[in-house]
């Protein structure tokens, strides 16, 4: 990524995670909104249940941009969303990451892990994104997963 692009993203210019966000696009389906975050099921389901939890109130790039109250909400919603996903997809383990290296708008990656997944025993991002396996669910199965996780969030 060029330094110029990074500087724009830091300021929120062209940020794809700023609101308003589409409920559905080629990357995600919205599951639900919480106090300061919205949960989206990723369209790539190589790791069944893989979801993004994105900060809603404004463009923020790191935890220190938040008030203490926002940070507490950010973490408590993560607990609710992660628990909901776990109950639905029954993973062997869960990875949670807030990296922001490509899109710096504050968000969590919630990544269920399975002993037969392509990167078991390692982070999912150890290869270039173009080399990563992409598994998409049939539309009906994807929407069923969205509904099941939503039901556990409420």
Residues forming contacts to Zn ion in the complex (CB under 5 A) are 12, 15, 17-18, 59, 105
Q: How far is the CB of 65 from Zn ion (least distance, A)?
A: 11
Q: How far is the CB of 44 from Zn ion (least distance, A)?
A: 21
Sign of CA dihedral 145, 151, 152, 154: positive
Nearer to Zn ion, 42 or 105 (CB): 105
* Distance of alpha carbon 142 from alpha carbon 139, whole angstroms: 5
Nearer to Zn ion, 56 or 117 (CB): 56
Nearer to Zn ion, 39 or 89 (CB): 39
Q: How far is the CB of 134 from Zn ion (least distance, A)?
A: 24
Residue sitting closest to Zn ion (CB)? 15
The C-alpha angle with vertex 3 and arms to 40 and 66, in degrees rounded to 5, equals 45
The 3-state DSSP composition of the chain as helix, strand, coil percent (nearest 5) reads 35, 20, 45
Nearer to Zn ion, 19 or 136 (CB): 19
Q: How far is the CB of 17 from Zn ion (least distance, A)?
A: 5
Residue 67, token pair as written in the block = 């008030």
List Cβ neighbours of 139 (8 Å cut-off, separation of 6 or more). Answer: none
CB 80 within 8 A of CB 34: yes
Q: How far is the CB of 76 from Zn ion (least distance, A)?
A: 22
Nearer to Zn ion, 22 or 118 (CB): 22
């Amino acid at each position: 990524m060029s330094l110029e692009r990074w500087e724009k993203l830091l300021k929120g210019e062209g940020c794809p995670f700023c609101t308003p966000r589409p409920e559905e696009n080629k990357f995600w389906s919205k599951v639900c909104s919480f106090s300061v975050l919205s949960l989206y099921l990723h369209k790539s389901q190589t790791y069944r249940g893989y979801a993004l939890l994105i900060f809603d109130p404004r463009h923020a790039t790191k935890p220190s941009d938040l008030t203490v109250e926002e940070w507490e909400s950010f973490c408590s919603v993560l607990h609710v969303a992660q628990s909901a996903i776990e109950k639905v997809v029954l993973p062997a383990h869960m990875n949670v990451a807030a990296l922001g290296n490509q899109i710096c708008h504050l968000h969590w990656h919630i990544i269920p892990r399975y002993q037969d997944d392509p990167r078991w025993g390692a982070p999912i991002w150890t290869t270039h994104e173009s080399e990563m396996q992409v598994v998409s669910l049939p539309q009906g199965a994807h929407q069923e997963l969205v509904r099941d996780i939503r039901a556990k969030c409420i």
